[in-house]
Amino acid sequence: MLFPLTIIFISLPFLNAAGTDANTGDLGTSTTQNGLTNDTGCKAMTVIFARGTTEQGNVGTLSGPPFFASLAQSVGTENLAVQGVDYPADIPGFLAGGDANGSKTMAQLVTQAMTTCPNTKVVMSGYSQGGQLVHNAAKMMDASTTAKINSVLIFGDPDNGTAVGTVPASKTLVICHDGDNICQHGDQILQPHLTYSMNAGQAAQFVASAAGMAGKGNGTATKFVA
């Protein structure tokens, strides 16, 4: 039996309620990351990440933390900053095609990262409604800003099949599971939409390679607690 989004989202599992803020040592365990806005210094790579609908903190649990942990293993924790997008992540936002203010916030964070740390490799990433924010934010940017985006990574993309603004396809990876109704432009949360943690390694490899940073880590993954 298929259930409507409005029912299923209410009962989505919150896999981790760790903390309200995090540093790089908590990349795989915390639901909140403020590596850019906390002004902890410029890193070689900055990931701007938008969580999915109803997830906690500003990066959630289902895809963000396992991706960050794997990426830290590849590029080195000391080289990585992660910044979550603060936005309601509610059902009306999803049904509207992605929260408008959240999309604007994401675009502003990308610009802030590029301005504050001009040499950082900026990555735009999101899961589910967070993917909608990635698409929307990219459309808000001018060509010169978009050209500086190093890579784009989206898990469970509601806008699957649509270009991410003017970001080249070669810099973009959208990971969608077979049977994920959200990726099929539906509104039903089925099991395939909840298992993107299994793609953390694939995602990290793409992002690290796009930045020319693969292999700079120590090979010890930051722990992810489910």
Of 70, 177, 180, 197, the active-site residue reads 180
φ/ψ of 126, rounded to 5, equals -170, 165
Residue 185 annotated in active site? no
Whether residue 198 is predicted with pLDDT greater than 90 in this model: the reply is: yes
Q: Which amino acid is at 160?
A: N
Domain boundaries, the chain: 29-210
125 pLDDT band, cuts 50/70/90, is: very high
Q: How far is CA 12 from CA 20, 67, 91, 218, in A?
A: 20, 19, 12, 34
Whether residue 108 is predicted with pLDDT greater than 90 in this model: the reply is: yes
DSSP conformation class of 9: G
Instruction: Say whether 65 sits in a helix, a strand or coil.
Output: helix
Q: Which of 49-63, 101-115, 165-179, 212-226 has the lowest mean pLDDT?
A: 212-226
Q: What pLDDT does 209 receive?
A: 98
DSSP conformation class of 41: -
DSSP conformation class of 141: S
Of 74, 125, 193, 197, the active-site residue reads 193
For residues 218 and 150, which has the higher predicted lDDT (pLDDT)? 150
Residue-averaged pLDDT of the chain: 88
Residue 180 annotated in active site? yes
CATH number of 29-210: 3.40.50.1820
Largest CA distance in the chain: 50
Outline where DSSP puts E strands in 77-148.
80-84, 121-127
- Tens digits of residue pLDDT in 134-188: 999 999 999 999 999 999 999 999 999 999 999 999 999 999 999 999 999 999 9
- Tens digits of residue pLDDT in 47-73: 999 999 999 999 999 999 999 999 999
Residue 28 has a CB neighbour count (10 Å cut-off) of 26
Of 128, 135, 157, 197, the active-site residue reads 128
Residue 128 annotated in active site? yes
Q: Give the chain's length.
A: 226
